[in-house]
Structure 1
Amino acid sequence: MSKYPTMFDPSSLVRKGFCPIRSGTPTAEAHSLYYEQHGKGEKHILMINGMGTPSFGWDYQVRSLAPTYSMLVFDNRGCGYSGYPVGRYTTSGMAEDVIALLDHIGWTSHRQIHVVAPSLGGMVAQELALRIPSRIASLILCVTTPGGMPWHNLPPWAGFRFLTTLLVTKDPAPTVMKMLYPSTWLEAKAPNDPHGRSNRQVRTESYLRLIGTSPKQRIIGHISQLAAALTHYVSPDRLRQISETVPKVVILCGDQDSLIDLRHSRELKAGMPAAEFIQWGETGHGIHSQRPAEFHDLLIRVFHEADTI
């Protein structure tokens, strides 16, 4: 496994490896998921990535939470070190991948897992919660959607333009910055940066380090994950089922999201009236990396509240 270096602190690494996924459908091949566990705490945190993002995108949260919790991060199918199975990708199929991974590492106990999932990861997490609700203590759905017909799932025009640009550009960093963060925030001075750089400079440096450590996503992975997002749908009845079977559900969104329209977060709330709804101002799609400290504090609060229900 030495050829797969961790970008996190090696001292927090408990185990890493590949989980074999045996497909249950004739249209998809068997593949494997790359995963890492950091920390040995009693509370178990599962982080599910968004589209095109490998596990290393959780850098801040793993560094800040691993001393206290057990953190599980992994690369979704079609991204990072994980496999690229042939066949249609769906959020339900990707949720089955996650269940196989949880079974593989032994995270199978009642109310053992706190699930944190943005964007495409939030869509996968909805399907996951429908399948193994008794294992989940809390569910934090960030900048995501319950879905619908493919045209209903299309991003706003700016987001569509960003996604198509990523398929052909040789320098993705400028596009990724515009796609994930508000322009005013990008130009502002980064807090606590000793060199006085802007948020754009700091986040670009972090992004370049990320993509320099993990394999570049193949075009087929980009298209296949996008297809899973476009065909995702969890009906109001199924949303209600999640709300009734998972003790603590939080819906988190930003007001300047170029990829997921705000109305989709409100649709989630309408289907899960008991869920806590949070909207942060001047915040884009990259919500956990734009506001990492606040995101960290939110996670701590939700984990504690879920464990006291």
Structure 2
Amino acid sequence: MTSTTGGVSGAPGISAPPRFDPFDTLPELVPLRTAAAHGDWPATAAFFAGLGTEAQRSFAAGLLADIDGVERYLEQAVAALPGDPLPRTLLADRYLHIGWDIRSGARAQHVSRDQFDRFHDWLRRAEQLLIEVCAEHPSYAHAWTVRVTTARGLELGQAEARRRYDRLAAHHPHHYPAQTQLLQNLCPKWSGSWEAAHGFARECAAAAPDGSHSGALVAIAHLEHWLELLGDGGMEAAAYMRGVPVRDDLRFAAQVSVLHKDYRPGFHGIGAHSAFALAFSLGGHHQDAIPHFLELEDRAAEFPWQYTPDPAAAFVKYRKAALSAAWGESR
């Protein structure tokens, strides 16, 4: 709803600085952070038991795995509950995060041999736990999701990563967290190809039920492609995002996913809208970005905004451009 002063009314956070902390933007996750802070395994287990979908469980597991020191109480839970897949999977995810922090997000040529050795050591520890879980519980979604990522880190190849994803997809065919991980595997920076990456993203968007998050994979694939081109010079990257084929690809994906009448945000909604908002904005398609920024208001996901030099400044800049376009449309 537009106001007579040229702003957008009815959205109290629409001009506030962006909030990136998921425990702030998704307050229903705060009990998980509290449980982690106290090393409270019963509270942690109860939190996961209360989640309604496998995608929610994967999202929450990723947040827990990113909290320093949680491996200590997770290791205790694994020792106390050797037959329970949850503590083993959460601990494996934490080991993965520890390893990736050591490796860093740099390209391989900028990672030292010592970093790689320690990185692989932590991933192998995660694999040992996950192999057991997947053998005992072959439909355990998050264990397979983490194994897609360890396959990438251990450089086990495209075929093995796809095999792991397919094992998961046989039970959970539209598991968005695993799809986002396999998409990374399929990008050229991990020995994939743009044909494979874009093809997989479009395949997931077309196959998923209307209103699912899978359409956001199309936006993520284009952002990855833009980032690769950015390293070769900004002009080619900008031209790519401005292209009509990219714009139309994004429009279709948004309509069948986050803009569809059957869409329900869930935990992944902020990240999905962030992907579309950034992708449309980079191409100068500010009117297309309007509904995504209106939904986000002052909420944002670290990924993919971290692909910009200053995520907070980029969010504010592009949100302002979209809202200016919204005001222009209404006149």
Q: Same fold (TM over 0.5)?
A: no
Between Structure 1 and Structure 2, which shows a larger proportion of strand residues? 1
Between Structure 1 and Structure 2, which shows a larger proportion of helix residues? 2
Question: Over alpha carbons, which structure has the higher Rg?
Answer: 2
TM-score, length of structure 1 as denominator length: 0.30
TM-score, length of structure 2 as denominator length: 0.29
